[in-house]
Structure 1
Amino acid sequence: MMTMDAVGAGTSDGRFIHVFGRDFPRDLFMARLFYLLYFASFGSLFPLLAIYFKQLGMTAAQAGVLLGCRPLVEFAAGPFWGVFAERFRKGKVLLLFSLGAFIVSTLAIGFVQPITPYCVVLDKNDTGGECKLLVPADKIVRGGALGYLKEATGFGRRKRDTANRIIDTIIDLSSYDGDGGMRIGQAPQYITSEKVCNYDEEIYGVLVSPPHSTRVYREPAVQQAFMLLLLLIALGEFFSSPTLPLADGCILNLVTDQPREFGKIRLFGSIGWGVAMFIIGIGLDYSDTFRNHPCPTKNTTEKNYILCFVTCTILAAAAMLVATQLRFGQEHEQHRPDEVGGLVMDTQINEVDPAVAEKARGKQLRTNETREQNEWRAALKAMMNIHFILYISGVLCVGFGAGNVFAFLFWYLQDLGGSPVLFGIASVVNHGAEIATYFYTFQIINKFGYMKTMYICLGANVARFLLTSWLSNPWMILPLQAVQGMVLAVVWATATSYVSLVSPPHLKGTTQRILQILYHGLGRGCGAMLGGVIISNLGVRAMFAILAFVTACVLGAIYGVNRMLKYDGIKYGHNFDDDDITYAPQGMPMGNAESKITDAFNQTSVVNTNYGTIGPDPQDDAYDRYVSNPYE
């Protein structure tokens, strides 16, 4: 039972929600519920989009472009929404608009499908089932001789012309012919005269048949659907990209006095993602019924993904309803969407002396675009350090692998015989390991240091990718998914804190922005695109083997150079608290952006010759309060 009381002072408005015998601060309860629903909406659809696109007859390269463009569009849209939000200061209105755009674009994606003009059947009348024929979808009589009799006599319906209709058994060409000489992961199959007796390219054109489906598409129709989907996804991502940064900024305002609570609240997103994917996996396993399917058959492995689109829409609508209850505060308290990412990474920045922070903000408001460009140039110049480049290359490599796994792991498991139930369980294992590992990140880094932690994570990825490429039993992916969850949790948490430690304080926000672009944009986005190209040409096993090789090369380069230069990296100080690390399931957009609040450090004069040592300038006291002895 849920009730609301206006007593106590657990939040700034003093209201509580009574749920199952316990009292929860209203604002924080709504924040947790929003993250739970919003991330659950993503988890119910987006991990499965690749295999949905495969069912539409698309190649891995096309699916990789459709999935990989999302983080790239998100980063490109950030500055626009930052200026827009700063000008109008209507955070809640913009949040609701972006959620509405997400719902509309998701529904639009579900309506885009190429027409199914043909089916492949076994001719039982003439050749005893020895020859496969291409037949128009509307000229097939289902149900054998009884079905033909019903069609001819008009029993139970209007009599139809059966003179030119055929009694046949519809088949899934990929399951009937095995892989047809194709490597695992390559799709779709092209119809040829060797596979289908009556096929003539001059008459029918270029036809393709996706695996796990009885449909046959014209290739030009698939390409048209791809272009339309690309447009819808790009537009949808552009208009919906402010959602998470705006919500993060709102929640950050609620936990100003206890910033470490933000990470714990964000944890509900991972819970929602994993649970939603698990439930959808079970439901999808039984969703093999289609209304007016052009090529119906029994025992098909084709799935009806309408369930995913409907669930995603309902959960997003519920999140939108909850968002109306989020309290954004006064207009001057609202953050630009492109500032929130740095704020999330730097939730202890309130230790800066208020006078210094206010003076820096005043100066920042008077800066022009040239100043911004100089900051980026200065940050890039500061990053031109061999140790920093090597470390970031390791982070980029992990992001590249994460993008490929997010896009094509289920694509691969489906071809190995994996069911949607397995996909759901794998998601729970992945996110469960990810959540559990976040609580031990501090201990791991403090024990091994940043570089050794990176060695461990890259080594784990090498083993994981190799074992994945050798899989024959799809259920063996479960322990590897646990490893993935741990690796992603450790790498992202350590990368954000590492950048904060080794960057000059007055450039920290810019370097955080660069880190996000490298990991979430180039890593995840370009990783999915390049991985799709590799799969289309060499197969998915080769893609994972190449990932293992590249990761091993990066690991060897980092280790070799650091050994040669006798560099072991840095550790946390004993009083450093990592509770403010951002929690987000893999594949989700982050609150991406530079944090202009970190410009409070602009008054410092830091000479950082090795880009890792924090100078003893008195004005850095706020920073030094929680960072000490950065090197081992």
Structure 2
Amino acid sequence: MKKGSMQKSKQWNVKGALRLAGVFNFLHSCGSGCLLPFLTLYFRHLGLNASMIGIIMASKHLLALVWRPFSSVLARQYDKRRTVIVGSLLSSALVVLTLLLFPSTGIQAESGRCNASQPEADPTPLLATLEQMTVPSQSNATVYSVNQTSISTEQPVDVNATVSLNWSARGLKSLKKEEDVHTEFLGSLKVMDAQHQMFFLVLIVMALWECMAAPLEWTADDGLYEYLDFVDATDRHSGVKVWKQLGAAFGNCAVGVLVTSLFCLTGASVEFYSYTILMILTVPAAALLPIYLRKRERLTSGGFKALQLVHGNSQAILCAITVVLMGMVSSAVSDFLFWQMQDCGATEIHMGISLALVHLSQTGFAPLSGHLSRFLKYHGWLLVLAVVSLAMQCLYYSFLWSPWSVIPAQLLAGFSTAALWWSITSQSEDIATPGAEKTIFRLFEALSLELGAAFGSLTAGFVVQKFGVMVLFQGAAVLLALWSSALAVLKWKIPRQRRINYSRLLAADTELSESDTDQEKDWLETAMEDDRGKTSGQWKRLN
């Protein structure tokens, strides 16, 4: 019997599972931090304009909004979570390297690092046309007869020779284009200019990459959560999130230092190779990741129930609108803040360190969240404070003057982001039925990180293209300032509705029953004193 109990305790090693999950999340977040924040800079290097980049990033978020929950449900339904995780790591690590095969179109100017000359538009087509139109010269005395008229070589080439060559070349070119369109795969790309060709190629690769990478995070998180739920240790699940922040911070700093040091030799390819290497290093941890395997079940409508719970609560609707707006602005900042910093002379080391400070400040918010919530009465006012903080940092971003001037706003960004997610967690617990807290939190997460981010990237791309980055940040600051005022008034007018969560009450009652014996003794002594007082009062009335 002892042997069986030892094997069972060895099988469900919660501490070991949490350590392994921490390693997995650290390596995966480190790899993501090496590449994802710097993608828009690389697209700028390729020659894509702001509106094109906005469309690419919006497509990425919309694809993740649909494919991520659907793929995680399928992986759970067919017990293929580990296969999905390992396959996602390997395929995304290889697909992303395709972006390195695309040469720069030379439309966007570089920053002039390594004493490199500024790239210009490719003059090859124009030179080829001029060479076709040029007539070989012999001597100054040579005379050409065109239409029975003699002209000397000192004069320009006759227009009628030029027109015939132009029309013949144009006709052959149009016939070739039509043939390519009808016979070749993606032949229509050849009709476009180099910039639009690059745009569609990058869009295709990013869509394929997102299909490979999107199922990973939710699938791994669900497997670990159900594993801990089976052994009644879900309270330790939140401790794994710290390793995500630390991994992202380390990846930001490391790749910033490497790219800045090796830029003259490798350019921005270090970011892609770092991502690939770290994804491959994550595979052993993913293969050993603790995942609870369950029997096949019928698909549940947890997402629709979560929508109904949010729709039936006025405070939750305000929170949903807020997370969409915050997601829009946060996506605009993440897409084009590095553009603003690059224009101020910043390099990747400035960007990496400033972004790492955001993640580190988020980890330091957890000990302060309880004190702030008590000071602000309840989490709703902390949500208002998060919106105000993001508005202030957007206004600050619009007036950057040096590479290191972004540091104060980044520290404030960590506070606003952490306050937002802490408020969302509290709101999810308030309206959730037993066991639905995680589903409602996922709903808010999708509204912010995917739906709001998609609209934010699309809008930000067109605003930057037409008005510039400074106007984008100032407009975002004004929008958030107006919404924070409206949010404060609405939260003051609308009463707070809180659903009674019996599972939390049961857990609180269990903790109370297992409390110190001194508290039980105090409760018993108080009851006995009350009983003695009542008894003595009765004797006095009888006397």
Q: 2:499 aligns with which of 614, 618, 624?
A: 614
- Secondary structure at the aligned position of 1:287 is classed as helix
Which residues in structure 2 correspond to 1:257-336 (within 5 Å)?
257-289=232-264, 304-332=267-295
Q: 1:465 to 1:627 in 2, by over 3 A?
A: farther
Which residues in structure 2 correspond to 1:452-491 (within 5 Å)?
452-491=381-420
Please state how far the C-alpha of 1:53 moved relative to its aligned partner: 0.3
**Retained in 2: the 8 A contact 1:116–1:137?**
no
Q: Which ranges of structure 2 fall in alignment gaps of 5 or more residues?
A: 1-5, 111-118, 126-168, 170-190, 510-543
**Retained in 2: the 8 A contact 1:501–1:627?**
no
Percentage of matched positions with identical amino acids: 20
Counterpart of 2:316, as a letter, is F
Please state how far the C-alpha of 1:79 moved relative to its aligned partner: 4.7
Counterpart of 2:361, as a letter, is A
- Secondary structure at the aligned position of 2:324 is classed as helix
- Secondary structure at the aligned position of 1:289 is classed as helix
Structure with max Cα Rg: 2
Which residues in structure 2 correspond to 1:46-57 (within 5 Å)?
46-57=36-47
CA displacement 1:246-284 (0-9 Å, x = unmatched): 221232244333223222222112111111111111111
Counterpart of 1:378, as a letter, is Q
Residue 536 of structure 1 pairs with residue 536 of structure 2: no
Q: 2:19 aligns with which of 23, 29, 33?
A: 29
Partner of 2:34: 44
Which residues in structure 2 correspond to 1:164-563 (within 5 Å)?
220-256=193-229, 257-289=232-264, 304-332=267-295, 375=305, 378-379=308-309, 381-383=311-313, 385=314, 387-448=315-376, 449-503=378-432, 511-563=440-492
**Retained in 2: the 8 A contact 1:85–1:91?**
yes
Please state how far the C-alpha of 1:13 moved relative to its aligned partner: 2.8
Whole-angstrom CA distance in 2 between matches of 1:484 and 1:552 = 16
**Retained in 2: the 8 A contact 1:28–1:254?**
no
User: How many residue pairs are counted as aligned between the two chains?
Assistant: 432
**Retained in 1: the 8 A contact 2:62–2:451?**
yes
Counterpart of 2:499, as a letter, is I
Whole-angstrom CA distance in 1 between matches of 2:108 and 2:418 = 47
Whole-angstrom CA distance in 1 between matches of 2:437 and 2:227 = 24
Please state how far the C-alpha of 1:105 moved relative to its aligned partner: 2.0
Whole-angstrom CA distance in 2 between matches of 1:367 and 1:254 = 19
**Retained in 1: the 8 A contact 2:302–2:439?**
no
**Retained in 1: the 8 A contact 2:45–2:108?**
no
Please state how far the C-alpha of 1:506 moved relative to its aligned partner: 8.3
**Retained in 1: the 8 A contact 2:62–2:450?**
yes
**Retained in 2: the 8 A contact 1:12–1:254?**
no
**Retained in 1: the 8 A contact 2:46–2:106?**
no
Structure 1 length-normalised TM: 0.62
Q: CA RMSD in A?
A: 3.5
Whole-angstrom CA distance in 2 between matches of 1:114 and 1:424 = 23
Q: Which ranges of structure 1 fall in alignment gaps of 5 or more residues?
A: 1-7, 16-23, 121-131, 139-202, 204-217, 291-302, 335-364, 570-611
CA displacement 1:459-493 (0-9 Å, x = unmatched): 22222111111222231110110100111011112
**Retained in 2: the 8 A contact 1:400–1:526?**
yes
Partner of 1:73: 63
Whole-angstrom CA distance in 1 between matches of 2:244 and 2:334 = 17
**Retained in 2: the 8 A contact 1:287–1:304?**
yes
Whole-angstrom CA distance in 2 between matches of 1:499 and 1:554 = 21
**Retained in 1: the 8 A contact 2:68–2:218?**
no
Whole-angstrom CA distance in 1 between matches of 2:365 and 2:41 = 29
Residue 13 of structure 1 pairs with residue 3 of structure 2: no
Please state how far the C-alpha of 1:225 moved relative to its aligned partner: 1.7
Q: 1:56 to 1:440 in 2, by over 3 A?
A: same
Please state how far the C-alpha of 1:304 moved relative to its aligned partner: 1.0
Whole-angstrom CA distance in 2 between matches of 1:119 and 1:499 = 47
Q: 1:424 to 1:79 in 2, by over 3 A?
A: closer
Please state how far the C-alpha of 1:51 moved relative to its aligned partner: 0.6
Whole-angstrom CA distance in 2 between matches of 1:255 and 1:465 = 40
Please state how far the C-alpha of 1:83 moved relative to its aligned partner: 4.8
**Retained in 2: the 8 A contact 1:38–1:315?**
yes
Q: 1:94 to 1:288 in 2, by over 3 A?
A: closer
Whole-angstrom CA distance in 2 between matches of 1:613 and 1:133 = 62
Partner of 2:181: none
Whole-angstrom CA distance in 2 between matches of 1:417 and 1:374 = 48
Whole-angstrom CA distance in 2 between matches of 1:397 and 1:561 = 16
Q: 1:108 aligns with which of 98, 101, 121?
A: 98
Q: 1:417 to 1:77 in 2, by over 3 A?
A: same
- Secondary structure at the aligned position of 1:328 is classed as coil
CA displacement 1:584-612 (0-9 Å, x = unmatched): xxxxxxxxxxxxxxxxxxxxxxxxxxxx2
Please state how far the C-alpha of 1:41 moved relative to its aligned partner: 0.6
**Retained in 1: the 8 A contact 2:303–2:439?**
no
**Retained in 1: the 8 A contact 2:318–2:487?**
yes
**Retained in 2: the 8 A contact 1:433–1:486?**
yes
Whole-angstrom CA distance in 2 between matches of 1:436 and 1:319 = 26
**Retained in 2: the 8 A contact 1:65–1:528?**
yes
Greater fraction of residues in helix: 2
